Amino acid sequence: MTIKRVVLSVLTVLTVLLAGASLWQSWQQPQFQSRLELYETNLLLRAAEWQPQDSGGKDLTNARKALLGDKPIESAIEQYQEAKTSTQKNIKKALAQLKQARSLPESAPATPQPKSATPPVTETSRANQETISQRSLDRLEKLNAELTLRLGILQAQQGKAAEAVKTWEELKENSEFGIRNSELLTTPDSRIEDTANALIGLWSNPARLLPDAQQLIQTNLDGWFRDRTLLRLYELQQRQDAFAQLQAAQQELAERAIVKLAIIGSLPWLAGVTGLGLLIFLIAQRLRKGKESILSRNEDTVWVTPWTGEIVWQVFIVGFFLMGQVLIPLTLSFLGVKPVGGQIRIQAFYVLVNYLLLAAGGLGVLYLSIKSFFPLPEGWFRFNWRSNWILWGFGGYCVALPLVLIVSIINQQLWQGQGGSNPLLSLALEARDSVALSIFFFTAAIAAPLFEEFLFRGFLLPSLTRYMSVWWAIILSAFLFALAHLSLSEILPLMTLGIILGIVYTRSRNLLAPMLLHSLWNSGTLVSLYILGSGAT
């Protein structure tokens, strides 16, 4: 074995340890889908307030029911109760992890990672592990408290004031989850318990109005929940002008929510139906025409690959995994770049810089690795602006929508709400800053498709055809593409997307096609997150 292979083997072991630790950590985190469903529920609650001046007869009523459902309040209560139950389960897990971290000896590593590792990615000391566990627990406790506040408001709107008061009383008790001990709940900006007292007073019989009730409501509640609570307050205070103004504002917001629901519901639905029709057509054509069908185009045509698997091994271990998991985090940590807890613009800029460094490093390693094989055989890294790459990209996007949706539904049941998600999704959902959103959009919709498609479809997939068929190369490259995102719950959906990206590339033989598909996918996700986030708060 050569020295180069020995070094690559050591780096591979290091990469497996780091990636394994990241995947294990993702298993401890809830899926992003559960939060997304709550945001959609909040938007539905807002839209349900819509009372059109012209009733429009049965057609409008039926359309409204189809969009909002028959009983939006009851559905929201069920959704929030499920979220609260799931959060409480995660709190128990977080408590167990924190106890385990505190029981570790001072010198023992918390996870099987290298001793030379340093923060933020590779530090595994007891103190660091305990800090991470405590932060996770605090976030979960805060989320549990917020869910409890909102669940009680939903119960009150359903006419169950006594049940709502009982729900809010939970926040005043020393529960088994230790909510009163959470640092996040004792800061001046998170007066959760005082807000619960204000809500209890509003729906008690007789009502008791706290002097700072309005300030507490406006500070600690948002969206539909804030407005419904303020209406109750204004009603008890007999402030008719404020009540009427808020009702009018609610109608305007409800109309906007209706439009937003129509956008995020109708456009993906139309694209998905188009994709199903296209998929049926392609399968039928494949069965009827065989090798002459569109799906069979270039099906067995492999690339002429001048390098061996060792070059592929080198590019992905050094240029992608090691670069992203060790070198770049170490460099940013050494420079003192710590975006955690910073402003959203700083976090967005950090994500962009981190990704651009990863892309530059990965492409640099790729270039140096295959430089000696220039000029490359025909067909490598092909960009053809005059071909039908737009049809391939858009058609692939339409087909991907229903397939990934089906796999995601199965996947969510498989992981039971666990497995983590891409942290960029959470940032994009909560971002209200146009500059930060623009940076997120550039990173996800432009930088990521260009780099990842160039590396996974442009280099990895064709290189694998030296050792296996095109179909197996598509499947293996899609699996590695999904694994590279380091989130257990996203492996199956991303692998499905990766297979479609691979099919589009091998049939079109044009990198522009999968890049467009990838860009459309990420763009659609970000736009949906922005609409949900802006409409629900």
d(CA 195, CA 212): 9
Non-local CB neighbours of 319 within 8 Å, separated by 6+ positions: 361, 362, 363, 364, 365, 366, 369
d(CA 217, CA 479): 47
d(CA 522, CA 515): 11
Distance of CA 274 to the CA centre of its chain: 25
Beta bridge partners of 418: 30
CB 518 within 8 A of CB 501: yes
The 10 Å CB-count burial string (b at 16+, else e) for 430-461 is: ebeeeebbebbbebbbebbbbbbbbbbbbbbb
DSSP code, position 381: T
The 10 Å CB-count burial string (b at 16+, else e) for 96-118 is: ebbeebeebeeeebbeebeeebe
Q: Which residue in this structure is represented by tokens 């990209």?
A: 393
CA separation (Å) from 346 to 10, 139, 433, 484?
A: 35, 21, 11, 25
Rounded to two decimals, the pTM is 0.82
DSSP of 129-154, one letter per residue?
HHHHHHHHHHHHHHHHHHHHHHHHHH
Q: What tokens does 5 get?
A: 């292979």
CB 428 within 8 A of CB 45: no
CB 1 within 8 A of CB 96: no
d(CA 327, CA 319): 10
Domain range summary for the chain, segments of one domain joined by + = 71-253, 261-288+309-536
CB 443 within 8 A of CB 517: no
505: enclosing H helix or E strand: helix 491-508
CA separation (Å) from 41 to 130, 456, 537?
A: 34, 37, 11
DSSP code, position 373: G
Backbone Cα Rg of the chain: 26
DSSP code, position 185: G
d(CA 33, CA 39): 10
CB 421 within 8 A of CB 29: yes
Beta-carbon count within 10 A of 159 CB: 9
Q: What is the pLDDT along the chain (537 residues), one digit of tens a residue?
A: 688 889 999 999 988 888 888 887 777 676 666 777 888 888 889 888 887 766 555 655 566 666 676 788 898 999 999 888 888 888 887 788 777 777 765 544 444 443 333 334 334 455 666 776 777 778 788 888 889 999 999 999 999 999 999 999 887 764 444 444 444 444 434 578 889 999 999 999 898 998 999 999 998 898 899 999 999 999 999 999 999 999 999 988 988 888 888 888 888 889 999 999 999 999 999 999 988 898 898 888 999 999 999 999 999 999 888 888 888 888 888 877 766 556 788 888 888 999 999 999 999 999 999 999 999 999 999 999 988 999 999 999 999 999 999 998 888 788 766 666 677 777 777 777 788 889 999 999 999 999 999 999 999 999 999 999 999 999 999 999 999 988 888 899 999 999 999 999 999 999 999 999 999 999 998 888 888 877 656
Beta-carbon count within 10 A of 302 CB: 17
